[in-house]
Amino acid sequence: MASTQAAQVLVASNRGPVSYQVAEDGSLHARRGGGGLVSGLSAIGPDAGALWVCSSLSDGDREAVRRGVGEPGVRMLDIPADVHADAYNGVANSVLWFVHHMLYQTPLEPSFDAEFRAQWESYEAYNRAFASALAEEAADGATAVIQDYHLTLVPGMLRALRPDLRIGHFSHTPWAPPDYFRVLPDDIAAAILHGMLGADRLGFLTHRWADAFRACCEAFVDGGVGGTRIGVHGLGADADFLRQRSHEPDVTERLASLRTEIGASPDGTPRRTIVRVDRTELSKNIVRGLHAYRHLLATRPEWRDRVTHVAFAYPSRQDLAVYRDYTAEVQRVAAQINDDYGTSAWTPVILHVEDDFARSLAAYRLADVALVNPIRDGMNLVAKEVPVVSDEGCALVLSREAGAYEELAEDAITVNPYDITQTAEALHTALSMPPGERAERAKRLAAAATALPPARWFLDQLNELEA
Ligand code: F6P
């Protein structure tokens, strides 16, 4: 049943637009996040009757829900910490993320045992909590757009509760091809596909991921995708926001300190920079990126002392041991390169691991080369943002396995992310590109990267659902 202030447009995602921390004096502090959905929702305006349903993720969030503290337009669900841990860490991030990004070392993993079955029950309970909240809050005939692999069962559950709604789901990840998707236990693979097919329309970032989903349905569901429509919306960078934000004083300040850190070549010119900015995420391929840089220094000695690899690898999913180990490996390989090649005047790799958005933008501004080499990635917005922000225009070394490849391949230098030799050669080509060509390519990359800004990306999905 719709409540009195029923919502016309509902968004559901695991991570919401705000998070809370309890300070030492017991007061609650709110932190607001950014991203495509935040811009999308602001584009429909404050009077559109929109509601964002999200999960509490931390003790601070749960405390906020219990104290009744909240933001207008946001309903944070009080999911018990153990249920959330099983659903988010156990199923979504350790299984579904691994399947869609094809991250398993299959001789040893995955193993679907009794512990996994218990986690799956939590995933179902967590999805049910979202479906119930959406069903409670939605106005008659409202539109609900559900986000990502955390919430694959919600469309089907919500459809059963509220057949009057228009239901969309959007995947921000790749989708696994059938031969990989079938590592999931049969009943769970079926539950996920049937859950998703409860939606009227499913959105994906690229044709490749949409085709993979369709292929999974054809392989594992009688009648394939049936009446569910499938669309592609390639989320782009937010040019206006980025251009303005990257010229604010805190960014300019960080630009100056980064320049000092990078320093000058023996001939007095500023050192060239290869920039990467990522979450420390298994799929981002940071370790092979470092090996490729090392191979460049080994095989092209002319670059020694003349180039710096600025690598920002920000903490992510640190509850999972495999992410902690990967973070340690990134730090170990970077330190090894500095030990082997560094001098008193030159640090070959500048690695920063504390998240600092202003410093990321500063690095974007001074990038000569952007390195984006994921082994598999839904889109990769960094590939789209650096060409927009870079002061002189950067060359882009881009993995053919990133979603962004579909739109940016023509003006990027593209690589097989597993091929370290080829990636090193691509870095050399990018560093050697004449400034005129680099600027021209960056201009075209920026145009392609901003073709579908976040607000339009979101509105297009709503329009399609309401059509
Ligand atoms: O699509 C993947 C995604 O959920 C993105 O929306 C987000 O940027 C990223 O993963 C971060 O994930 P988390 O919320 O687990 O930190």
Of 14-23, 32-41, 118-127, the range with the lowest mean pLDDT is 32-41
Mean pLDDT for 200-214 is 98
Q: Which residues of 108-138 are buried (b: 16+ CB within 10 A; e: fewer)?
A: eebeeeeebeebbebbbebbebbbebbbbbb
Position 86, amino acid? D
For ligand 1, whether the C-beta of 173 sits within 6 Å is yes
Q: How confident is the model at residue 54 (pLDDT cuts 50, 70, 90)?
A: very high
Contacts of residue 397, defined as CB under 8 A and 6 or more positions apart, other chains included, come to 369, 370, 371, 372, 373, 412, 413, 414, 415, 423, 426, 427, 430
Task: Write the pLDDT tens digit of every residue in 179-200.
Answer: 999 999 999 999 999 999 999 9
Q: Which domains does the chain have, with CATH numbers?
A: 7-235+456-466 (3.40.50.2000), 239-449 (3.40.50.2000)
CB 259 within 8 A of CB 270: yes
Task: Write the pLDDT tens digit of every residue in 289-336.
Answer: 999 999 999 999 999 999 999 999 999 999 999 999 999 999 999 999
> Looking at ligand 1, which residue's alpha carbon is closest to its atom 5?
172
Query: What pTM was computed for the model?
Result: 0.96
For ligand 1, whether the C-beta of 172 sits within 6 Å is yes
**Cα 173 to ligand 1 centroid, rounded to whole Å:** 9
User: Has residue 8 got a pLDDT over 80?
Assistant: yes
CB 145 within 8 A of CB 168: yes
Mean pLDDT for 215-244 is 97
User: How many Å apart are CA 308 and CA 368, to the nearest integer?
Assistant: 10
**Cα 204 to ligand 1 centroid, rounded to whole Å:** 15
Going edge to edge, which strands form the sheet with 413-415?
A: 349-352, 307-314, 272-279, 369-372, 395-399, 413-415
For ligand 1, whether the C-beta of 284 sits within 6 Å is no
For ligand 1, whether the C-beta of 148 sits within 6 Å is yes
Query: Please, what is the average pLDDT of the chain?
Result: 96
Which of 55, 61, 172 most suits a substitution to test ligand 1, by most atoms within 8 Å of the C-beta? 172
User: Has residue 2 got a pLDDT over 80?
Assistant: no
Task: Write the pLDDT tens digit of every residue in 96-120.
Answer: 999 999 999 999 999 999 999 999 9
Which of 11, 13, 14, 15 most suits a substitution to test ligand 1, by most atoms within 8 Å of the C-beta? 15
Query: Which atom of ligand 1 is found nearest the CA of 15?
Result: 14
**Cα 92 to ligand 1 centroid, rounded to whole Å:** 11
Of 47-56, 77-86, 162-171, the range with the lowest mean pLDDT is 47-56
Structure tokens at 86: 């099983």
Burial label for 339, CB within 10 Å (0-12, 13-18, 19+), is: exposed
> What pLDDT does residue 4 have?
52
**Cα 172 to ligand 1 centroid, rounded to whole Å:** 8
**Cα 154 to ligand 1 centroid, rounded to whole Å:** 18
**Cα 79 to ligand 1 centroid, rounded to whole Å:** 18
Mean pLDDT for 393-421 is 98
Sign of the dihedral defined by the CA atoms of residues 250, 306, 393, 353, in that order: negative
User: Has residue 375 got a pLDDT over 70?
Assistant: yes
403 to 32, 174, 412: CA distances (angstroms):
27, 8, 13
Query: Which atom of ligand 1 is found nearest the CA of 92?
Result: 15
Task: Write the pLDDT tens digit of every residue in 133-182.
Answer: 999 999 999 999 999 999 999 999 999 999 999 999 999 999 999 999 99
**Cα 226 to ligand 1 centroid, rounded to whole Å:** 29
User: How many Å apart are CA 199 and CA 131, to the nearest integer?
Assistant: 12
Mean pLDDT for 341-346 is 97
Quick one: what percent of the chain has pLDDT higher than 70? 99
Contacts of residue 5, defined as CB under 8 A and 6 or more positions apart, other chains included, come to none
